[in-house]
């Protein structure tokens, strides 16, 4: 019985550890991010808990939507909601072969790293006895180009300016915030079974991050940031390209919510539709908060919400519907109009419920006396021209507003102020959206005489099978030299020390087909490096 109980405990502990690998857990927020970019939603439950430990959640699910029209007039759409009826996004970069086990092993995951670990690595990577943390070793800096993957994926600092992510030689991940979660996804790996749209052939690099801030910091406390880079890996021009973020907001209990927006702040949000968030699992009770989503580097071009039904203002059912909602257009191609439920009016508008609910002359769910209910909607930006090889970068923040004693309607003014503080922080600290690779400006790339000789290194056979030889010609390695064989993400697969002479042979490679790199080192400095393939 004791052994059985121990095994059960170990299994439960393993499940808990695995469950935590997709969670960013900082700044009084606990948020789940899937490896295909889905926010919060997993196993039909919400995982966007704020305040952390309260058991209360504000977002049931979130995901990226996008669509554009190629030069031949064909609509291409990638959009996803709950993954109950299909998928439009998959983990990993655009590649030639998505079925190889090495591809799944490498990319069906997320990468979580904190700033403290990176700073420690920067100080100690070349110190004796230092062990590089797995979170830094596993960072996907380079793609497998032999599988059609991009050469550069996750952003990194290239200490030795060799364009290879090799953290044992001083490289490290580049992130924002004090803790970050990085993911890579694409819409190309399979047919789109949710939107039923044609593939775009896009690769998306995403980063969720937050700062470890005290409660007095109104800009950053309880705020999660989302960074996206959409890269067009196809041969198509996409005209009238729109992208948006879709959210199913649940302010605690999901049955009593309202939504709105403030286009002047590029903000859309959800709040409780009545005074009390009725008791339920994850309810906020007497003082429910407001949850926002604000575009930081692009203007919000539209906000639309739709009903949880299959009317013309209900759930999207095909690619045209998803694309229409990105343009503030209903399923029957009629534009959103001002007033009522946004359908069938006279004056067209791109923004639903843009007024403060306390403005009696404005248009809000309160002035329309809507019955509070389940709410979902999408805030979008566009149109753009997205050309082959071009990328579109955007940053979003998810500010949270909660204050004891403040009513559910007054909470919107609190959220607006917090949103303005977030905008001010972002504009002060980030001059550009894209997170670029960086190189070490102080690294001397001028080769010594000895190194110049090593440029003539011969590697054979190449492609290799069971063994490989690296011949240095007239050069000679001292006894403290070593050789390392690395994969495309910088992991050291083979390491041999105390090698000497002018020819090194490695037998029994036992490596799967693909691209590999070698480093020859003396006194922990790379004196020659190169690549070879295994077939």
pLDDT at 455 over 90: no
Q: Are 199 and 188 in contact (CB under 8 A)?
A: yes
For 501-534, the pLDDT digits (tens) are 778 888 888 888 888 888 888 766 677 788 888 8
pLDDT at 190 over 70: yes
Specify the pLDDT at position 481: 79
pTM of the full structure: 0.82
Q: Are 535 and 512 in contact (CB under 8 A)?
A: no
Residue 123 CB neighbours (<10 A): 10
Interval 426-451 mean pLDDT:
79
Choose the most confident range, by mean pLDDT, from 294-298, 403-407, 464-468.
Answer: 294-298
Would you place residue 77 in the very low, low, confident or very high pLDDT band (cuts 50, 70, 90)? very high
The DSSP letter of residue 463 is S
Would you place residue 16 in the very low, low, confident or very high pLDDT band (cuts 50, 70, 90)? very low
Q: Where are the domains of the chain?
A: 11-429, 449-534
Q: Are 184 and 91 in contact (CB under 8 A)?
A: yes
Degrees (nearest 5) of the Cα angle 344, 69, 229?
100
Cα gap 23→29, rounded to integer Å: 10
Residue 338 CB neighbours (<10 A): 14
Cα gap 447→243, rounded to integer Å: 47
**3-state class (DSSP) for residue 466:** coil
pLDDT at 478 over 70: no
- Work out the burial of residue 421: count CB atoms within 10 Å of its CB; fewer than 13 is exposed, 13-18 middle, 19 or more buried: middle
Degrees (nearest 5) of the Cα angle 253, 254, 255?
100
Q: In DSSP terms, which residues pair with 520 in a beta bridge? A: 483, 528
Specify the pLDDT at position 12: 36
Cα gap 136→264, rounded to integer Å: 40
User: In terms of Cα–Cα distance, which of 247, 204, 192, 245 is closest to 76?
Assistant: 192
- Residues whose CB falls within 8 Å of the CB of residue 166, separated by 6 or more in sequence, listed in order: 160, 486, 490, 517, 519
pLDDT at 18 over 50: no
For 99-123, the pLDDT digits (tens) are 999 999 999 999 999 999 999 999 9
CA 290 to chain CA centroid, nearest Å: 24
CATH numeric code, 449-534: 2.60.40.10
Q: Are 527 and 513 in contact (CB under 8 A)?
A: no
Choose the most confident range, by mean pLDDT, from 389-393, 407-411, 495-499.
Answer: 389-393
Straight-line distance from the first to the last Cα atom of the chain, in angstroms, rounded to the nearest whole number: 50
Residue 108 CB neighbours (<10 A): 12
Specify the pLDDT at position 400: 96
Interval 441-469 mean pLDDT:
68
Interval 144-148 mean pLDDT:
95
Specify the pLDDT at position 475: 62
Specify the pLDDT at position 418: 96
pLDDT at 227 over 50: yes
**3-state class (DSSP) for residue 477:** strand
For 156-168, the pLDDT digits (tens) are 999 999 999 999 9
Of the chain, the percentage scoring pLDDT greater than 90 comes to: 70
Which two three-digit tokens encode residue 359?
């403005």
Q: Which residue has the higher pLDDT, 43 or 117?
A: 117
């Amino acid at each position: 019985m004791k052994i059985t109980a121990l095994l059960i405990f170990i299994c439960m502990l393993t499940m808990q550890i695995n469950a935590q690998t997709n969670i960013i857990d900082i700044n009084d927020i606990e948020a789940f991010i899937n490896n295909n970019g889905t926010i919060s939603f997993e196993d039909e439950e919400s995982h966007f808990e704020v305040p952390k430990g309260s058991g209360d959640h504000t977002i049931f699910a979130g995901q990226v939507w996008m669509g554009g029209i190629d030069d031949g007039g064909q609509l291409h759409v990638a959009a996803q909601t709950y993954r109950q009826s299909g998928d439009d996004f998959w983990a990993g970069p655009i590649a030639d072969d998505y079925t190889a086990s090495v591809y799944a092993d490498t990319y069906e995951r997320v990468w979580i790293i904190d700033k403290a670990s990176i700073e420690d690595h920067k100080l100690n990577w070349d110190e004796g006895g230092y062990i590089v943390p797995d979170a830094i070793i596993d960072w996907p800096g380079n793609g497998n180009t032999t599988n059609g993957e991009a050469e550069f994926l996750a952003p990194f600092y290239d200490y030795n300016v060799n364009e290879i992510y090799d953290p044992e030689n001083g490289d490290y991940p580049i992130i924002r915030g004090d803790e970050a979660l990085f993911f890579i996804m694409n819409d190309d790996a399979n047919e789109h079974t949710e939107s039923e749209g044609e593939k775009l052939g896009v690769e998306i690099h995403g980063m969720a991050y937050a700062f470890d801030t005290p409660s007095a910091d109104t800009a950053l406390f309880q705020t999660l940031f989302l960074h996206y880079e959409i890269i067009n890996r196809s041969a198509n021009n996409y005209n009238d390209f729109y992208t948006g973020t879709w959210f199913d907001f649940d302010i605690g209990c999901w049955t009593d919510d309202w939504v709105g927006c403030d286009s002047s702040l590029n903000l859309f949000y959800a709040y409780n539709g009545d005074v009390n968030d009725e008791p339920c699992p994850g309810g906020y009770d007497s003082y429910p908060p407001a949850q926002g989503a604000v575009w930081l580097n692009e203007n919000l071009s539209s906000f639309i919400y739709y009903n949880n039904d299959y009317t013309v203002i209900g759930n999207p059912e095909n690619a045209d519907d998803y694309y229409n909602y990105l343009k503030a257009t209903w399923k029957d191609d009629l534009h959103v109009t001002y007033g009522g439920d946004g359908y069938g009016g006279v004056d067209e508008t791109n923004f639903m419920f843009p007024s403060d609910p306390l403005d009696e002359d404005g248009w809000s769910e309160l002035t329309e006396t809507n019955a509070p209910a389940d709410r979902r909607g999408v805030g979008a930006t566009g149109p753009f021209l997205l050309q082959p090889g071009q990328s579109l970068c955007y940053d979003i923040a998810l500010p949270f507003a909660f204050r004891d004693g403040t009513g559910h309607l007054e909470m919107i003014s609190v959220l607006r102020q917090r949103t303005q503080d977030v905008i001010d922080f972002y504009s002060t600290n980030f001059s550009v959206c894209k997170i670029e690779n960086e190189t070490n400006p102080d690294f001397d790339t001028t080769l010594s005489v000895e190194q110049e000789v090593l440029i003539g290194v011969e590697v054979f056979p190449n492609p290799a099978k069971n063994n490989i030889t690296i011949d240095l010609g007239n050069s000679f390695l001292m006894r403290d030299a070593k050789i390392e064989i690395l994969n495309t993400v910088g992991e050291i697969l083979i390491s041999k020390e105390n090698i000497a002479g002018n020819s090194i042979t490695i037998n029994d490679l036992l490596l799967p087909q693909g691209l590999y790199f070698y480093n020859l080192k003396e006194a922990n400095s790379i004196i020659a490096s190169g690549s070879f393939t295994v077939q």
